[in-house]
Amino acid sequence: MSDGIRVFAGDCTITTEGDRAREQRGDVVVVIKPDDTVLVHDRDGFRPVAWLTRPETLAYDGTSTDDFSLTAIDGDSRLRVVTNDRYGLARYPVSAAGAPAGRCPDCNGALVRADGAVTCLDCEAQYGLPAGADVLDAPCEACGLPTMRAERGRAFTLCIDRECESLDDAVKATFDRAWDCSDCGGDLRVIREGHLLAGCDNYPDCETAFSFPTGVVDGECDCGLPEFATPSGNRCLDATCEHAA
């Protein structure tokens, strides 16, 4: 991220208030992430001796050549770090870390998959991924970005950039009006309202709507709606269906 990560090393007094109230002193490394998360590490193990994740407020002073201090507050939790002896202070670039996913066609930077998205480590371009999608080795022929495989009724292979190829459009072209509403017999339309739905065309008179599961159509449920093979087993499009396996 462009804000970078701040790292301080020194002999510090660390005071915490709240559920982990105590005072400690030692030669430590203090890490301040771009989201203001503060981690204080000593020489042992991976667990910090003190921390506060995404505090509501963070007051930080590292301008003096001799001193360093910070105060992080989140509700009733408070973390205070004050130097007794300063060893060093630096700022470094930092990004998401994830599985390699190829090269960025715009800047040739490394692409990684992390936190439900593919991100370029250099230009910071980011492409959100649908739930359950697998990033493939084959690049998109149109733009050069990686492709993905996403299951929404069938397995679709598409570019990770929804502006290049849209999963919603692909699902709509395949399943729009493919099934009848189980309540009124109207057509089920493929729509997006926060997430991908099969919703009755007779809305608002009929408010029936079902979320598309991550899986492929594998037959028909006894209720007449399609049955999906999902990672957790077969299920009806209607997750509440009493006929579902």
Domains and CATH numbers, the chain: 5-92 (2.70.180.20), 99-171 (no CATH), 172-236 (no CATH)
Mean pLDDT rounded to a whole number for the chain: 91
Please say if the pLDDT value at position 1 is more than 50.
no
154-205, pLDDT tens digit by residue? Answer: 999 999 999 999 999 999 999 999 999 989 999 999 999 888 999 999 999 9
Q: What is the pLDDT of residue 244?
A: 52
The total number of residues shown for the chain amounts to 245
Please give the pLDDT value at position 95. 81
pTM above 0.75, yes or no: no
Nearest Cα to Cα of residue 72 among 116, 22, 16, 111:
16
**Cβ atoms < 10 Å from Cβ of 213:** 23
User: 219: closest CA among 202, 231, 232, 236?
Assistant: 236
Instruction: Report pLDDT for 104.
Output: 93
> What pLDDT, in 10s, does the model give residues 99-137?
999 999 999 999 999 889 999 998 889 999 999 999 999
What integer pLDDT is reported at residue 152 of this predicted model?
94
CB 31 within 8 A of CB 5: yes
Residue 242 reports pLDDT greater than 80: no
Q: Which amino acid is at 13?
A: T
| Per-residue pLDDT, 2 | 47
* Backbone φ, ψ for residue 128 (5° rounding): -70, 145
Please say if the pLDDT value at position 87 is more than 70: yes
